[in-house]
Structure 1
Amino acid sequence: VLDLGCGGGDLARSLVRWARSDGFDLEVVGVDPDPRAIAAAERQTTAGVTFRTQSSGDLVAAGERFDVVVSNHVLHHLDDTERGAFLRDSAELAVGRSVHSDIRRSVSAYRLYAIGASFVSAGTFIREDGLRSIRRSFTVPELAAALPA
């Protein structure tokens, strides 16, 4: 499994853990073009998970292929051109399926996050970054219009 835009590696580690709990061995490669994200991801090691400082374009250029390609909370970080390239790369990298999950924007999500984050991440960048992500995310109709057929 390829985790594109893996950030700190939470999804990659969770996929391996969930698969093991169901009796499956799974190998996950997490990639992110930001070396700071990979450095953070590598602070915690999990058997079956490797991390690389690469982009989806780097992987396509190298001819790599994966059974499944996933991303989580990446699409709202990309402009229209970047998102199109990212999704084309995902389709080319996936032998099977590519699955992308993102944040659904709503007024209630913004308000609840603003209040909740104040309790767990007061004084950090996490609260502001999360609020920015919610503002940049999509509603369901917006995402449907932004995705290729």
Structure 2
Amino acid sequence: MAVQLREITDDNRDAVLALEVAPSQKRFVSEVPESLAQAARYPEAKPWYRAVYDGDTPVGFVMLSWDVVPDPPDIVGPWFLWKLFVDGRFQGRGYGREIIRIVTALIRAEGATELLTSYVPAEDGPAGFYAKLGFVPTGEVDEDGEVITRLPL
């Protein structure tokens, strides 16, 4: 596995926009077109996003609020994992774990001491994935009912 985070450019935009989560996950995370639209709507959240590649193959997408001044309830931070998904065809191969490893190394180098994220609480949701990586609930729930979690760095 040679995972890299790459900027979305005119050369790779169509391939990245075509990535799709598994059908059962669509209620938990928005896909790339909606995520990019959200990034454009909320510039104050300092969206930082990248396509996830394994070699020359796009396999996922990640978006963070990058060193933002928190302004609850709208902006959680300073370092917030806003979007993370791996295309349904590539799940179960360790990409999600590797994306978190890369992201945490990047933000730790910027002085971050924790990474926050949130998830929809559901039996078949991503809570177990985040818990295995060391994320712990903060005790807070956002305005959409998502559980906010913290990964100490």
- Name the TM-score class by shorter chain: 0.3 to 0.5
Structure with greater Cα Rg: 1
More helix by share: 1
TM-score by length of 2: 0.32
